[in-house]
Amino acid sequence: MSTAKCRLMLPEQQADVTRGGTRMRLRGLVRKEFLQILRDPSSIAIAFVMPVVLLLLFGYGVSMDARHVPLAMVIEQPDADTAGLVGAFGNTEYFRPIVMPNMRSAEQAMLAGKVNGIVHLRSDFSRRLRSADGAPIQLILNGVDANYARLIQGYVQGVWGAWLNQRATQHGAPPPLAVDLQPRVWFNGNFRSRDYLVPGLIVVIMTLIGALLTALVMAREWDRGTMEALLVTPVRMREILAGKLIPYFVLGMGGMALSVAMAVWLFQVPLRGSLWVLTLASALFLAAALGMGLLISITARNQFVAGLLAIITTFLPAFILSGFIFDIGSMPLVVQWITHLMAARYFVSILQTSFLAGDVWPVLLPNAAALIVMAVIFLGLSRRLARKRLE
């Protein structure tokens, strides 16, 4: 009926009423969406329970830092020299050396997964130690998990280098290794893997939240036939979409705030950048993630297909292609291009920098710009397709 009245007004007055009406209609739509959220509390669970459960589990559970790796030591002829080396292995927190009588039992232990590697010193170790060629320290690794094997190899070389230096000083000999490598690891001097895993996990969790919250909302209206009911009212498609986004944006930002609070206070991840940059970047990412959910919801014809799409397009891509675990620079070029389609990729870069390094603008700005582009594309496409579905 308000439209009927509008027709009798002058154009500028009409525009006035529509604008005022937009605010009122939007308020109504947002209210309706909030009521729906309260009725099926799974949305609230998605925004607040999911981050807490997942962060607790992963913050405590996941670690790249190998400690007390069981290592079999087979010493064919124990003496003072070998004892020094075995002692060097026992002195680091990286290894738990287990002395075994012979290679056969050590190999069986490795096949059974009881030890991750074997250090083998032959009976002529001490003799060859004094010869010109030097004595081999044979190291056999279980190469199934290649990265783990490499890590162990690196630790063994560390123990070996320290042992050599110690021996040299004891004998008053010059240092056996000409170049002494002195690594300085910036931002995370102790290699605390939690410091980089927790920000990455926040990205994965926020990707899921974004998609889960909005993937079903539009499809649900179509499924239940309430979309037609909405369309015969004076509300515009634009307003419907905004009415869907605003409540979930508020929920999502709440979930994000909770995640950051847990990262900083519970997991002691340093937050070196400023909070407002983090907030702004989160808002941009959430806009892109919610936009993607909305697009899924509109492209799929019903909630079922929207659910399928949400499962297949969010979690694993965000986990594997975002640079959270696997280094993007080492992927083949074609795969690197594909990673540019992931909003998560930009957010991982922003979060790792802003948590560990600070406000480094040359890193933050391009990533933020990419997030803006993605948000605009997703939301614009949603708007377009939603209108087309009416025809």
What does residue 52 show for φ and ψ, rounded to 5 degrees?
-65, -50
CB of 141 to another protein, least distance (A): 4
CA 114 to CA 202: how far, in whole Å? Answer: 34
- Identify which of residues 26 and 195 has a Cβ nearer to another protein in the complex: 195
- Identify residues 199-218 at the interface with another protein (CB under 8 A): 204, 208, 212, 215-216
Site for another protein contains 357 (CB under 8 A): yes
- Identify which of residues 81 and 279 has a Cβ nearer to another protein in the complex: 81
CB of 23 to another protein, least distance (A): 29
Residue 72, strand partner residues: 98, 118
The correct pick among 10, 12, 80, 189 for binding another protein (CB under 8 A) is: 189
DSSP-based three-state secondary structure for 113: coil
Site for another protein contains 172 (CB under 8 A): no
The correct pick among 130, 170, 265, 276 for binding another protein (CB under 8 A) is: 130
Q: What DSSP letter does each residue of 309-368 carry, written as one string?
A: HHHHHSHHHHHHSSSSSS-GGGS-HHHHHHHTT-HHHHHHHHHHIIIII---HHHHHHHH
Site for another protein contains 174 (CB under 8 A): yes
Site for another protein contains 24 (CB under 8 A): no
Tell me, by CB under 8 A, how many residues bind another protein: 119
- Residue 309: other Cβ atoms inside 10 A: 20
Pairing type for strands 69-75 and 95-100 reads parallel
Site for another protein contains 337 (CB under 8 A): no
CA-wise closest residue to 259 among 248, 274, 271: 271
- Identify residues 63-122 at the interface with another protein (CB under 8 A): 63-67, 69, 85, 110-111, 116
Distance (Å) of CA 155 to CA 15, 72, 127: 72, 15, 25
Pairing type for strands 69-75 and 117-121 reads parallel
Site string for another protein, 254-293 (x = CB under 8 A): ----------------------------------------
The correct pick among 83, 99, 146, 275 for binding another protein (CB under 8 A) is: 146
* Listed ranges 10-18, 227-235, 325-333, 374-382: which one lies at the site for another protein (CB under 8 A): 325-333
- Identify which of residues 34 and 148 has a Cβ nearer to another protein in the complex: 148
- Identify which of residues 19 and 147 has a Cβ nearer to another protein in the complex: 147
| Nearby residues of 69 by Cβ (< 8 Å), 6 or more positions away | 94, 95, 96, 116, 117, 152, 155
Report whether 155 contacts 69 (CB < 8 A). Answer: yes
Q: Tell me, what DSSP letter sits at residue 330?
A: G
Site for another protein contains 300 (CB under 8 A): yes
**Per the structure block, which two tokens stand in for 93?**
């927190």
Site for another protein contains 127 (CB under 8 A): no
Site for another protein contains 133 (CB under 8 A): yes
